[in-house]
Amino acid sequence: MALGPRLELRQGQALVMTPQLQQAIKLLQLSNLELANYVEQELERNPLLEANVAEPEIAERSVDTREAEGDFEAAPTTETALTLSEDGPLPSRDGDLDTDYDNVYADESRSDAANDVAAETPGMQGSDWQNLRNGGGGGGGDGEFGFESTLTRETTLSEHLTEQLNMAIKDERQRMIGAYLIDQVNEAGYITTDLSEIADRLGASLADVEPVLATLQTFDPAGICARSLKECLAIQLRERDRLDPTMQIFLDHLELFARRDFELLMKLCNADREDIAGMVEDIRGCNPKPGLAFGNEPVVPVIPDVFVRQRADGSWAIELNSETLPRVLVNQQYYAEVSKFSADPKAKSYLSECLNNANWLVKSLDQRARTILKVASEIVRQQDAFLMYGIQHLRPLNLKTVADAISMHESTVSRVTANKYIATPRGIFEMKYFFTSSIASSEGGEAHSAEAVRHRIKELIEAELPNAVLSDDNIVDILKKSGIDIARRTVAKYREAMNIPSSVQRRRDKKVYA
């Protein structure tokens, strides 16, 4: 067979991810905080984008559910228009993020001209520097303090200990040793470095370091600067006047407490069950990580993306949280004025690119909101029994079931439910909470949700009597009588995931408190 070059024409199909489609997919999986930051960056980058201060119309979907032999059917849904842009073109409501966006802006001209455009930032004037030296803000004005000077933050653990060190120790040499020891304290409040090594680094003797450490261990919070958990607990118990010889023996055998071996502890401490129970309560009242009380990041509350409320007629109203929806618009008038007086081809190409990007961002935000609303509505329809009666009626649900119901791909549903929260009459839940695996029914009926089974196991253990502690096999038998077909290893896995000790450990605990 002769070998030689030749030309062939082949026809095939391939999925091409355009930059715009990648952006739409990226926006879909962002949380509300990440989306707000992304939109802020786009507002700074694109001169044709503006923040829309007007209140948008909130998209709402109404879902009617009814019970019929355990099945809940949804009535036809009604949806009002969601307006995220007043000047920019609004997309069709029939599309979803699985649609190929290649043909939306087929005549779009992509250019690298934007990389050649640079803005010059004027330097600070002498009066500005003088204003900052006087404590004033960037705005100046009569020597008043700027906004930055009024900002506050929490005191760190190091600062808290250093302040006490300066008041407790006057000797400069001891204060230097104390400052170095404070630098060795980790965020939990412990000193893990050996004192001999610290003394060698400082060029001091161990007899010089130990008294300073003893002084630091009297600082607030109680238990700080300890070298082990035993020493941390001993410091706190000594402060409460609870560190007697019997308690010291208990602390020397903390590993027995961890194993719940209270019988051996009673023998070693020469104490009865009531005394051991009292010592256990004292130890549990201590803080094993006292340093964590300082310098922690503030807890950010969860902001739901969707609200679900029940109407008077029993149907569910699902609406988007307007506070989490970025409101942007495209300034078409500014584009028309600038492009009319611009003769530079590069400038026109840059403006055209900014306009296309702005229009696409508005379209992507609108599409994202509609998709979240559609997925949330289907979740409410599927989990109506949970909203009405509680976690015992949570149904097993997977991504494919929701995707097939709303004619989307599973990957799209997965992105929508990531980092999104839904506020229901039973609390705020992450959307992924409603997707649980199924456990077969022993009676051949409808499968049970794994989350509902975990809740049932927790209820059984909490209701058990001290003289009748349930083993994993006992729990399996009880669940099978309730129609739940589950293996013993699955019960053990669920119990350990909920941090519930074994039946042997629970029996020991209940004996102590009996």
Residues 22 and 107: their CA atoms lie apart, in Å, by 18
CA angle 363, 367, 368 (to 5 degrees): 115
pLDDT value of position 211: 93
Q: Which residue has the tokens 């961002």?
A: 361
3-state secondary structure 215-272: HHCCCCCCCCCECCHHHHHHHHHHHCCCCCHHHHHHHHCHHHHHCCCHHHHHHHHCCC
**Contact call for residues 221 and 287 (beta carbons, < 8 A):** yes
Cα(103)–Cα(108) distance, integer angstroms: 10
Q: Give the strand pairing for 78-79 and 427-430.
A: unpaired
Ordered DSSP codes for 2-17: ----------------
pLDDT on residue 304? 92
Question: Mean pLDDT of successive 10-residue segments in the chain (514 residues)?
Answer: 81 78 83 89 90 64 53 35 36 42 37 38 41 43 49 78 92 92 92 91 91 93 92 93 91 87 87 88 91 72 90 90 86 86 84 90 90 94 91 89 92 90 92 87 75 90 87 90 88 90 81 58
Angstrom distance (rounded) from CA 456 to CA 500: 13
Cα–Cα distance measured from residue 65 to residue 381, given in angstroms and rounded to the nearest whole number: 7
Q: What DSSP state is assigned to residue 99?
A: S
pTM for this prediction: 0.60
Structure tokens belonging to residue 40? 């802020």
- How many Å apart are CA 114 and CA 380, to the nearest integer? 45
Q: H or E segment at 340?
A: helix 332-340
Q: Which residues contact 132 (CB under 8 A, 6 or more apart)?
A: 138
Catalogue the E-assigned strands of 46-203: 49-51, 60-63, 65-68, 71-74, 78-79
DSSP structural state of residue 395: P
Residue 252 has what pLDDT? 92
- Confidence (pLDDT) at 263: 85
Task: Please tell me the predicted confidence (pLDDT) of residue 57.
Answer: 57
Helix (H, G, I), strand (E, B) or coil at 49: strand
Number of neighbours of residue 235 by Cβ within 10 angstroms: 19
Residue environment code for 192-231, b if the CB has 16+ CB neighbours within 10 A, otherwise e? ebeeeebbeeeebeeeebeebbebbbebebbbbbbeebeb
Residue 354 to residue 46: CA distance in whole angstroms: 6
Query: CB within 8 A of 43, min separation 6: which ones?
Result: 49, 50, 51, 328
Residues sharing a CB contact under 8 Å with residue 49, sequence separation 6 or more, in sequence order: 42, 43, 328, 329, 330, 331, 358, 361
Residue 287 is predicted with a pLDDT of 93
Of 256, 217, 212, nearest in space to 239 by CA: 217
What's the one-letter identity of residue 467? N
Half-sphere exposure of 198 (CA within 13 A, CB side): 23
**CA-derived radius of gyration, the chain:** 33
> What integer pLDDT is reported at residue 444 of this predicted model?
65
Give me the half-sphere count of Cα atoms (radius 13 Å) on the Cβ side of residue 458. Answer: 14
